[in-house]
Amino acid sequence: MVTTSYHVKAQNSITSRGSTMALLPRYLLLSLLVLNSLLFSFVKSDDEEDNLFRGINSYRTSLNLTTLRENDKAKCLADEMADQFKNQPCTNTTGANTVLGTEPQFSDYPNLLSKCKLNVTTTRDAVIMPACVPNLVPDLVLSNYTMSQYSNSLNDTKFTGVGIGSDDNWIVVILTTNNLEGSFTPDNSSANILFQLGLISHAVFLLMAFLLLL
């Protein structure tokens, strides 16, 4: 009886191990599909933003205006803003069709600035221009900027830089200037440094706790 029981357990163990091995390819395939989907989403988003960047600069060139330089900090904030807009539907009163003075206000705007290591002082002269276009069709996206109220800002010579971010059907363009109030210079204040040090120390604490549990 003991021998029989041992063989049964061994057989069950082998069967279980075989089932697990059989499932591994499925899990691997599923993981690859998810990863591929995420990568495709990022590439698609970059293409949409690059197309708009080139389109805006071509538009400015046709008006004998200087082209805009990419501003990494402005792009960071544009990405954060697009993420905030993404759950809002496209309507005749959103994006480029928004009536001046009725733009949505985000209570966590200071936090969005902080995520990009920015502050109000160096961003107050910038212009934030969101647009909602189903599937972000390139020609329609560009016309939402060049053939709307946003064209006034695109035609303004004081703007020298641009950051573009997108999420779902929303795309956000932020125009920056050369002066301090619109330069998007990183926030190097002591408060921001202390905040970053706090995050680092918290991460170190979590890592140590994880290692102790091993």
| Domains of the chain, each with CATH number or no CATH | 43-188 (3.40.33.10)
Q: Does the pLDDT value for residue 68 go beyond 90?
A: yes
- For 78-102, write each residue's pLDDT tens digit: 999 999 999 889 887 777 777 666 6
Is 172 within 8 Å of 123 (Cβ atoms)? no
Beta strand extents in the chain (DSSP E only): 69-70, 127-132, 159-167, 170-177
Is 151 within 8 Å of 121 (Cβ atoms)? no
Total-model pTM:
0.68
Of 30-34, 142-146, 152-156, 196-200, the poorest mean pLDDT is in 30-34
Measured CA angle at 159 (ends 154, 162), to 5 deg: 80
> What b-and-e string marks burial along 78-110, b requiring 16 or more CB atoms within 10 Å of the CB?
bbbbbbbbeeeeeeeebbbebeeeeeeeeeebe
For residue 175, the tally of other CB atoms under 10 A from its CB is 24
